[in-house]
Amino acid sequence: MAESNPNTALPNAKIAIIGGSGLYSLFEEGAQEVEIQTKYGSPSDKISVGKINGKEVAFLPRHGIKHTIPPHKINYKANIEALAQLGVERIISTTAVGSLSADIDPGMFVFPDQFINFTHRSEETFFDGPEVAHISTADPYCDEIRSVAIDDSDTININYLDRATLVTINGPRFSTKSESKMFRSLGGDIINMTQYPEITLAREKAMCYFSIAIVTDYDSGLEGREDISPVTTDDVNKKFAESIKNLRLLLNSLAKDIPEKRSCTCSHVLDNAFMTKM
């Protein structure tokens, strides 16, 4: 599936971080910016490639460096294809999420292990035909990265939840109270607007995908808690900014501690997925 690359001499990085622009300072000196074009179009912005804690890491700002691309307008296929061209095998996603549960408080770091898709987006697969493949998403997140993240979070003393179900809605608006109630009743623990189809597209490239979800609010509120107001964009920005120090520490540790060679099952997801005999 490798594409011919119009951009000569691209740098190589096995780990990529997709997230907000507040993470540029993670890089040691000498990071370079690369502009990549794909057959699906342009990724959200230039991709920075440089060293974090001695490891070569790529960084892609999901909404563009100036946050000009809303969740439903992100070219997820171009983003994942561009990272594939850099040789990325593992994606660490950072995302602000709302809590659907009284037990999951703002400020907490959550490492989801399941998602429920409530988006309605058309560009959600690389297998649009004539090549047809059906990948398993029974366990869509990488458990090898999860176990490293748990150890590192314990060391840094981060308040985290090691598993949760993340509901992804289309956006850009937040949920109604009835929608939040429905998502809760379906088993959702946290909610955002960008996890899908980013996660499944990465999986279609046999990449590992792991998410650090930072709880910024209680979505549309909590039942029986009149003191909790529905989320605003200001709430999200304020709470995320408070968490950025710990997020930087965790990403820095992950870059160092994630094993060089993968021993998880993510790389084998395409082994039995193809229907088409090419």
Nearer of residues 10 and 264 to Zn ion, judged by Cβ: 264
- Biggest CA–CA distance in the chain, Å, is 59
> Rule CB under 5 A: is residue 88 a binding residue for Zn ion?
no
Q: Which of residues 259-278 bind Zn ion (CB under 5 A)?
A: 264, 266
For residue 213, the minimal CB distance to Zn ion (Å) is 18
CA distances from 76 to 45, 50, 188, 213, 218 (A): 12, 22, 23, 18, 27
Considering only 208, 215, 247, 258, the residue that binds Zn ion (CB under 5 A) is 208
Binding to Zn ion by residue 142, rule CB under 5 A? yes
**Residue 143 known to be catalytic:** no
Task: Yes or no: say if 38 and 81 are a contact pair by the CB < 8 Å rule.
Answer: yes
- Which one of 103-111, 152-160, 180-188, 204-212 is the stretch in contact with Zn ion (CB under 5 A)? 204-212
Active-site choice (219, 234, 235, 271): 219
149 interacts with Zn ion by CB under 5 A:
no
Q: How many residues in total does the chain contain?
A: 278
Minimum Å gap between C-beta 53 and Zn ion is 20
Residue 217 among the catalytic residues: yes
Contacts of 164 by beta carbon, 8 Å cutoff, 6+ apart: 104, 110, 111, 112, 113, 114, 189, 190, 213
CA distance 90 to 264: 11
Distance in angstroms (rounded) separating the CA atoms of residues 122 and 92: 24
Instruction: Decide whether 142 or 193 has the Cβ nearer to Zn ion.
Output: 142
For residue 208, the minimal CB distance to Zn ion (Å) is 3
CA–CA separation, 91 vs 209, rounded Å?
5
Which residues are at the interface with Zn ion (CB under 5 A)? Answer: 142, 144, 208, 264, 266
